[in-house]
């Protein structure tokens, strides 16, 4: 690397990239715009490539800038963790696990999937709920240790990840008390009459449900679609409609939401996956999540 390379310049570039413009970055840094701009140009000069290019009133990353930003994210994320690591070294140590949770994944299922690590002494668990593709992006930037999702990551030669199955669960239908009798009568064909809530097409199980409806020649009376599974069950429990959910969470669902099981979608299952970035040393708690590792 060019000896003129300076980590302070890299930090200014990182802030500019995150803020999307020199002015916003200068405001965050409490510096003059010209000073920030000069520091970024110095970084570009030392690397030999343009990292930013104008876009409207702001800036966007060039291809070289994207590569530099990936490295900067790792560098400064590690730097942000330094105070915590130092505190742990002289106090009670904590084991930090950062988990990304796909918004389509049943939230009640997450606690079941996380059971292998929940008894870890001094565990510090950080959970981030987001859309699947956004979580994979954060995983690529090493902001997350693992992603829990309802599908595996698609093969991508530029993005080395592993997808490990955590099992599956039959899909059952649940109703609030006000709709239970009508939904239970002539189930599953009753789903063409009673109000039905469904996950959006972002959920992997949605296409399997569509095939199930088609096979049984049922046109569901859909009154709501939800990206977030927690909202789906909340609105269902409030009386808006009947809804499908993995049987894995049956006990918690009935206890906390007061709904009743009306039947199953025969042949339809909800799948669960843990997705991690390829690393030489895998986080020990992520290893513990994987069924194949628990017996070693």
Specify the pLDDT at position 231: 92
Superfamily (CATH H level) for 92-167+273-294? Periplasmic binding protein-like II (3.40.190.10)
10 Å CB burial of residue 156 (0-12, 13-18, 19+) is exposed
Q: How far apart are CA 271 and CA 163, in angstroms?
A: 12
Model pTM? 0.67
The segment(s) of the chain belonging to CATH 3.40.190.10 are 92-167+273-294, 168-269
CA distances from 221 to 53, 61, 196, 224, 238 (A): 50, 46, 6, 9, 17
CA distances from 54 to 21, 22, 58, 61 (A): 9, 10, 6, 9
Q: What is the pLDDT along the chain (296 residues), one digit of tens a residue?
A: 455 568 888 888 988 888 888 888 888 888 888 888 998 998 888 888 999 888 887 888 899 988 888 888 888 877 777 777 676 666 666 788 899 999 889 888 998 999 888 888 888 889 999 989 889 888 887 888 899 999 999 887 667 788 999 999 999 999 999 999 999 999 999 999 999 999 999 899 999 999 999 999 999 999 999 998 889 999 999 999 999 999 999 999 999 999 999 999 999 999 999 998 876 556 888 888 887 544 33
* Angle between helix 22-29 and helix 33-47 axes, rounded to 10 deg: 110
Q: Angle at CA 105, nearest 5°, toward 102 and 109?
A: 125
The segment(s) of the chain belonging to CATH 1.10.10.10 are 7-76
Of the candidate CATH numbers 3.30.300.20, 1.20.1440.230, 1.10.10.10, 3.30.43.10, the domain formed by 7-76 belongs to 1.10.10.10
Specify the pLDDT at position 1: 45
Of the candidate CATH numbers 3.40.190.10, 3.40.50.300, 3.90.1150.10, 3.90.226.10, the domain formed by 168-269 belongs to 3.40.190.10
Specify the pLDDT at position 4: 54
């Amino acid at each position: 690397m060019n000896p003129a390379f300076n980590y302070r310049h890299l930090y200014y570039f990182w802030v500019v990239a995150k803020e999307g413009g020199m002015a916003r970055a200068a405001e965050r840094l409490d510096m003059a715009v010209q000073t920030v701009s000069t520091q970024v140009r110095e970084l570009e000069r030392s690397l030999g490539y343009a990292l930013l290019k104008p876009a409207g009133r702001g800036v966007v990353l060039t291809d070289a800038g994207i590569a530099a930003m990936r490295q900067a994210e790792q560098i400064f994320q590690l730097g942000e963790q330094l105070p915590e690591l130092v505190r742990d070294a002289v106090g009670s140590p904590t084991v930090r696990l950062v988990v990304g949770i796909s918004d389509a994944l049943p939230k009640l299922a997450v606690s079941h999937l996380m059971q292998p690590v929940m008894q870890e002494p001094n565990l510090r668990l950080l959970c981030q709920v987001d859309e699947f593709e956004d979580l994979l992006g954060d995983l690529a930037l090493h902001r997350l240790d693992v992603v829990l999702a309802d599908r595996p990551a698609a093969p991508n030669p530029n993005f080395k990840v592993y997808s490990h199955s955590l099992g599956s669960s039959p899909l059952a239908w649940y109703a609030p008390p006000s709709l239970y009798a009508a939904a239970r009568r002539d189930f599953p064909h009753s789903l063409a009459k009673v109000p039905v809530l469904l996950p959006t097409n972002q959920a992997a199980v949605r296409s399997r449900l569509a095939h199930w409806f088609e096979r049984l020649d049922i046109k569901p009376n859909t009154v709501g679609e939800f990206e977030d599974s927690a909202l789906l069950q909340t609105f269902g429990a409030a009386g808006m409609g009947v809804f499908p959910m993995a049987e894995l969470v049956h006990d918690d669902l009935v206890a906390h939401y007061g709904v009743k099981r009306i039947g199953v979608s025969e042949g339809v299952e909800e799948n669960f996956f843990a997705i991690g970035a390829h690393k030489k040393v895998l986080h020990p708690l992520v290893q513990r999540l994987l069924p194949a590792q628990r017996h070693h």
